[in-house]
Chains A and B, each alone.
Chain A
């Protein structure tokens, strides 16, 4: 029978915690850049001018249909040669996941904006608001409230996707796990502990999102996926 031995893992628990902090950092920064970028992409995609809507649609579809790991490799290995910048795993991760999640957020924004009744646009227009004022003051505040559950779900997906940065040697939780597993010769314990750590963080977030969704549903707001 297998003998579990967590001592080696516990001795280096600070390594794993540092990894978790880095995982959350990358997730947070990707959200910070990804959400506004997603809004811009969705507005461009909804624009009547084709020179805005076509490129935006292309970017969104491209980043939704290509694997995130391929994107990460492209930004890490290919982009520095193409435009001669120094690329660290950290920056590559943030660039990749910002754009990748922006593509998904763009579709959430688009769904949210389109879910708002046409009468709201007309109500805004009728008191003399222009397109931008209507969007900012009337449509977006309502749309964003409906989008919250989808936002939270997507953010959780993003957190899970950040494990990919370990493959370009950024010291996130996954990377620290690989490192520690090799050092201690205890892959069973290390990977199990790390899986549990991810589970706890993600489970808490998803329970929170279910709670929020339930409250929004009760206050009579339909939500978009």
Chain B
């Protein structure tokens, strides 16, 4: 219980009359890499986006290190913008389409949140930014603008930008889906390195190889609910449900693309 980083209770999310998440319970422990699988439209991205409140949950509670996010008001939870901003600095997120800031250099991209949000001094922020760029192997690109980078490099900058905030947990939302196949490997390698360093992570992906070899736990989401979860080698080889079996049949085998 004490080493729970993210705990989710009975999370619901609807867009109008369309229910996307129908009650999710999940506990992510420190240092754990949880991979979320599911076909498109299953709600896996929405789950991730609810955790750092890119989407507001319709119902349910989310705890960070055991503390409820938001204020309990007789059963329902209310959120203030300032609290959510603070929470988001502790929950890093990497997007499918990078969302780098095109008007800033790579270095400035990684410094921006540190300076503007955390109020770090420019010198300290720059040192931190260079350290994180080193970590993702892009020290030499610090002064380039994002437009001059390949998709894989962009995504690694996005990872460095999130890491520079010193988050407690990282969320990866289909971060290799928009990449050319030959660039997928460098990004997954970077994420694997983070796993080895003990970062707590939730990874939504279609890369079964990554799930198989890197994750500690695999969730399979279908129709907005967790249909199966468990240890990757077991659940991926012997899924309990037909749904998951069909999903796995439609995907390449558990080969790591690097």
Contacts and interface: CB of A to CB of B under 8 A. Distances in A.
Contact of A127 (B81, B97, B162): B162
Tier of interface size on chain A: 20 to 34
Given A129-B113, A129-B116, A123 B86 contact: no
A119 B98 CA distance: 8
Contact of A130 (B82, B93, B161, B165): B82
Contact of A128 (B86, B100, B102): B86
Interface in A123-174: 123-131, 133, 137-138, 141-142, 145
B168 interface: no
Contacts of A12: none
A220 to B, nearest CB: 7
B103 A142 contact: yes
Given A119-B99, A120-B99, A126 B117 contact: no
A66 B103 CA distance: 38
A123 B86 CA distance: 15
Given A133-B117, A142-B102, A220-B147, A128 B88 contact: yes
Summarize A's interface: helix, strand, loop or mixed: helix
B88 A138 contact: no
A122 B88 CA distance: 11
A126 B162 contact: yes
B101 interface: yes
Interface string B94-110: 01011111110000000
A122 B113 contact: no
B165 A127 contact: yes
A129 B112 CA distance: 10
B89 A122 contact: no
Given A119-B95, A133-B116, A137-B116, A127 B161 contact: yes
B92 interface: yes
B35 interface: no
A130 B85 contact: yes
A129 B93 CA distance: 13
Given A122-B54, A122-B95, A220-B147, A128 B113 contact: yes
Nearest to B101: A138
Tier of interface size on chain B: 20 to 34
A127 B97 CA distance: 15
Given A127-B117, A128-B89, A133-B117, A120 B162 contact: no
A117 B118 CA distance: 25
Contacts of B52: 126
B173 to A, nearest CB: 10
A128 B165 contact: yes
A117 B99 CA distance: 9
Contact of A137 (B89, B98, B112, B147): B112
A138 B117 CA distance: 13
A123 B113 CA distance: 10
Contact of A126 (B54, B102, B103): B54
Contact of B99 (A123, A130, A141, A220): A123
Nearest to A129: B117
Given A122-B54, A133-B117, A142-B102, A127 B95 contact: no
Contacts of B99: 117, 119-120, 122-123, 126
Interface in A94-134: 117, 119-120, 122-131, 133
Interface of B: 52, 54, 81-82, 85-89, 92-93, 95, 97-103, 112-113, 116-118, 147, 158, 161-162, 165
Closest 6 CB pairs of A and B: A123-B99, A127-B113, A128-B89, A119-B99, A126-B93, A128-B117
26 contacts: A119-B98, A119-B99, A120-B101, A122-B95, A122-B99, A123-B98, A123-B99, A124-B101, A125-B54, A125-B85, A126-B99, A127-B89, A127-B117, A128-B85, A128-B87, A128-B117, A128-B118, A129-B113, A133-B117, A137-B112, A137-B116, A138-B101, A138-B112, A141-B103, A142-B101, A145-B103
